[in-house]
Amino acid sequence: MIGAIIGDIVGSRFEKKNLKSKDFELFTKQSKYTDDTVLTIAIADCILNSKGYEKTVKKYGRTYPFAGYGGTFKRWLAGIISGPYNSWGNGSAMRVSPIGFAFDEMEKVLEEAQKSAVITHNHEEGIKGAQAIAISVFLAKNGREKQEIKEFIEDKFCYDLNRTIDEIRSIYEFDVSCQGSVPESIIAFLESENFEDAIRTAISIGGDSDTIASMTGAISEAYYKSIPQEFIEKMNEYLPKEFRIIIEEFKSKYST
């Protein structure tokens, strides 16, 4: 899940100011972690410590209330909305990557991804987006080649992964839906040459940059099996101690 967090931090400054280029400084004073990181850590904590998804996600959301959550999610955190709210947004997919790393059976990954999604995102597309990212991580972790991952995701989730990044970049606009950002994040991974290139490629298409880079980063970490140490050191500079502890515990137990 380190890849997801690095993608979030690097992409954070481009979310509202898209850059349709792969040429940029990765970490700056304007970079920060966002809701993608907070809720990814929450899911990792659930797995490590056998906690419930809804209670734990609410706890983290309320502890870090200014991370950039969507309006409906904020109302859910505040208790104004009770129960899931039929969302198809990419919030379910941005937080799910620890599940792909932690579980060793495909059916268990699909089951847990659904459980983590439906506390808020019980729309079919919200569930599908979470499952697609979790399974992509799972397949990459287990040594599947990119073509195998591509074909599986296309067959299982009916996403169009035959577009190129250049084609997407030329017309892509801000889209927070799972169906409008999860396939794009997977394509960014498929076209990448290494972890760093994956993050740069994801951000270069524009749109919801931090979340797209977070999803791409998670799959890329699982596939490439390594992240430059200097990226990890920079990541830690942005994170509170509580997050770093969870990351180290998760890494120790579920290392790729």
Where does 64-123 have alpha helices with state H?
71-78, 91-94, 97-102, 106-118
pLDDT in tens, 41-52: 999 999 999 999
pLDDT in tens, 107-119: 999 999 999 999 9
Q: Could you tell me the pLDDT band of residue 5, with boundaries at 50, 70 and 90? A: very high
The one-character DSSP state at 228 is -
CA distances from 182 to 133, 179, 233 (A): 7, 6, 28
Yes or no: say if 142 and 54 are a contact pair by the CB < 8 Å rule: no
pLDDT value at residue 192: 98
Q: Residues of the chain with pLDDT > 70: what percent?
A: 100
Strand ranges (DSSP E) for 120-229?
none
Long-range pairs of 239-242 with CB within 8 A, sequence gap ≥ 24? 239/5, 239/33, 239/37, 242/41
- As a whole number, mean pLDDT of residues 31-50 equals 98
Query: Counting every residue, how long is the chain?
Result: 256
**Residues 84, 16, 226: CA angle, nearest 5 degrees:** 80
Question: Can you tell me whether residue 81 is helix, strand or coil?
Answer: coil
Tokens of 83: 């129960």
pLDDT in tens, 186-229: 999 999 999 999 999 999 999 999 999 999 999 999 999 989 99
Pick the CATH number of 2-22+31-253 from 1.10.3720.10, 1.10.10.10, 3.20.20.10, 1.10.4080.10: 1.10.4080.10
d(CA 81, CA 75): 6
Distance from the first to the final alpha carbon of the chain? 10
d(CA 34, CA 45): 17
Yes or no: say if 239 and 212 are a contact pair by the CB < 8 Å rule: no
pLDDT of 256 > 70? The answer is no
Instruction: List, in order, residues 6 or more apart from 96 with CB less than 8 Å away.
Output: 43, 113, 116, 117, 130, 131, 133, 134
Yes or no: say if 214 and 41 are a contact pair by the CB < 8 Å rule: no
